[in-house]
Each structure stands twice: as structure tokens, then as C-alpha cells.
Amino acid sequence: MDIMRWKKLTLCLDVCGFFFRDQPTYKPSEELMTFLESGLPPVYIGFGSIVVEEPQSLTNAVLRAVAGAGVRAIVSRGWSNLGRGSPNSKDVFYLDDCPHEWLFQHVAAVVHHGGAGTTACGLFNGRPTVVVPFFGE
């Protein structure tokens, strides 16, 4: 293929995929490290920027799913503030802010709403990923 034809062809290409941030500097709290080290790797459950009208109902559904599956979980509070006012337990840890690049190295699976960054980070770390669709997804 001559160079002019190649240049015309490359102008028509779109490269799709994910980009990854560098590993951030992060020091987890003692409480988070104790939870991670106190049993099998937990499942991460987080819906990030999704805002629901009844966060307590979603929190209750998440807790039923965790109990039904017999797993431990890290529940990201996110914009809906899941678990507001609920204490951590031996099976559920409520998390405010933590970089996925660090956290997903320590979890068994990732349950989320399908955002591009969370999806990319879960797949990059080789974690099974379950997407819970919300409005229009």
C-alpha cells in the first residue's frame, strides 16, 4: 500500500478503548485495612454518581443481596450516600472516597452502574464485573 493511500485510510479510523490513570498515591485507613484483612476478599458495590430518590431502599436491597449471596461487601456511599448513618459491620464496610485503582486490587468482584472508568478499572484488575442498570441504561 502506498503512503498516500495509507494516510487517507488512517484519517477515517477511530481508536476506541479505555485509558488508565497512573496508580495514585493512597494510604487506606486502619479501619479499611482491618476490614480487608479480616476475611475473604469482599465484593465492591458502588453506583458512583447515580442519585436515587430513596437511598435507604437501595441500601436495603444491597444488604439483602449481600446476605443472600453470603459475601462480605464494601459499599461505596456515592452521591446517593448509601448506608447513611449505618455503622460498619463484620460483613459490610461503607466507604466514602477511595481510588478504584488501589481498591480493586483487593476485592473479589465489582458491582456498579456501568460507568466507563469503573468498568475499565474492574476489567484491568481482572475482576468479575456486574452492571446494575439504572434509568435509560
Place of cell 494516510: 7
Q: Per-residue pLDDT for 27 more than 80?
A: yes
Q: How far apart are CA 82 and CA 44, in angstroms?
A: 13
pLDDT tens per residue, range 91-114 = 999 999 999 999 999 999 999 999
pLDDT for res 5? 60
pLDDT tens per residue, range 64-93 = 999 999 999 999 999 999 999 999 999 999
CA distances from 120 to 19, 53, 64, 70, 83 (A): 8, 27, 27, 26, 26
The stretch 9-31 carries a mean pLDDT of 74
